Amino acid sequence: MRVIFAGTPEFAQVALAQLQAAGHTIVLVLTQPDRPAGRGMKLQASPVKQHALTHGIPVAQPRSLRLDGKYPEDAVAAQALLQAAQADVMVVVAYGLILPQWVLDVPRQGCLNIHASLLPRWRGAAPIHRAIEAGDAETGVAIMQMDAGLDTGDMLLVESLPIAPDDTTGSLHDKLADLGGRMVVQALAQLDTLVPVHQPAEGITYAHKIEKREAAIAWTQSADTIVRRVRAFNPFPGAATLLAGESLKIWAASVSDATPPASAVYGSIVAVAQNYIAVAAMDSIVNITQVQRPGGKRLAVADFLRGCDLQPGMVFESAPDVPAAR
């Protein structure tokens, strides 16, 4: 098929590569404009753009697709490119722009979206993070026929995937990216025979965009909540806490079976072992196993303790703007 592809991050790049490998012709790629990134804050092309340029695929980076929006000149130029592409279908994966109706109407067989959740649960920008944060037992991928709403279109294919107890957003992202790529290839192969299914009216939740401030650990929350948030915010933005005024990133932790002493304040270190730091939370103890200091590397606790003398009774500070336990 002749495919227009719209996507930006690595999750989308995986699907783009699988579509090419399946023999589809990618006639045009839409992706977000280059953004400053890294320590030098130099402009950096998205993973999708890098892949497209490597494979000689035409790329467009409109700032908007709304003809009546802030950048109408970008939308007009994109409209000409999309219409000239004469595409059979458009595949959209974590693109980052809302598609107006005129875009949905351009491809002969409409626009398909790869969404990393079991819709209608976790519509929106951060479904992988939110599924882990909420303690969901499973997630998955939905291939959706797009409409003008936010992840509200009819579903063509759905496949579930268990969330492992040690899954982080990073590890689950990779599993779902591969699954989504395989499923969209299957959807295109069966597009004429797939039966669209309306999303259920019940069970709708929204995966709001991750804010950096959410990463601050509140030790007044339950140990289970804290550990889920550590996993959900790995690799971005990284769960954070303060110790003696220094910000530390907590990259890995588990819930202990032990109960904190009655005298322990939330966030206090109750034990320092070779491989973990035990910290009192609301109802239990969090065993921290991987830490990072500002400007340093991620370290297993055994390595971290060689350069940081922690003692029971020291207190990790909670951030006041973190929401209460969920």
Q: Are residues 226 and 181 in the same domain?
A: no
Count of the separate structural domains present in the chain: 2
The DSSP line for 83-111 is: HHHT-SEEEEES--SPPPHHHHTSSTT-E
The boundaries of the domain holding residue 268 are: 212-317
| Each residue's pLDDT tens digit, 178-236 | 999 999 999 999 999 999 999 999 999 999 999 988 999 999 999 999 999 999 999 99
Confidence bin at 323 (pLDDT 50/70/90): very low
Final residue in a domain of this structure, among 143, 176, 207: 207
Confidence tier at 324 by pLDDT (50, 70, 90):
very low
Torsion of CA 244, 249, 252, 258, to 10 degrees: 20
Chain centroid to CA 107: 27
My answer on whether 218 and 232 are in the same domain is yes
Are residue 24 and residue 139 in the same domain, yes or no?
Answer: yes
- CB–CB of 179/12 below 8 Å? no
My answer on whether 125 and 216 are in the same domain is no
Q: pLDDT by residue (tens digit) across 37-95?
A: 877 788 999 999 999 999 999 999 999 999 998 999 999 999 999 999 999 999 999 99
176 and 303 co-located in one domain: no
Instruction: Say how far apart CA 296 and CA 122 lie, in whole Å.
Output: 34
Q: 240 and 218, same structural domain? A: yes
Domain boundary among 176, 207, 238: 207
3-state secondary structure of 268: strand
Instruction: Classify strands 59-60 and 25-30 as parallel, antiparallel or unpaired.
Output: parallel
Q: Is residue 241 domain-resident?
A: yes
Is 113 domain-assigned?
yes
pLDDT tens, residue by residue, 140-155:
999 999 999 999 999 9
Decide if 118 contacts 142 (C-beta within 8 A): yes
- pTM given for the model: 0.93
271 contacts 278 by C-beta, under 8 angstroms: yes
Assess whether 136 and 281 both reside in one domain.
no
One domain for residues 32 and 120: yes
Answer whether residue 326 is part of any domain.
no
Q: How far apart are CA 10 and CA 8, in angstroms?
A: 7
Whether 322 maps to a domain, the answer reads no
Which backbone phi and psi does 224 adopt, to 5 degrees? -65, -45
Partners of 42 in the β-ladder: 37
What was the pLDDT predicted at 39? 74
pLDDT in tens, 103-159: 999 999 999 999 999 999 999 999 999 999 999 999 999 999 999 999 999 999 999
CATH of the domain at 272: 3.10.25.10
Q: Mark which of 188, 207, 226 sits at the end of a domain.
A: 207
Q: Mark whether 269 and 198 lie in a shared domain.
A: no
Q: DSSP letter at 313?
A: T
> What is the predicted pLDDT for the residue at 115?
98
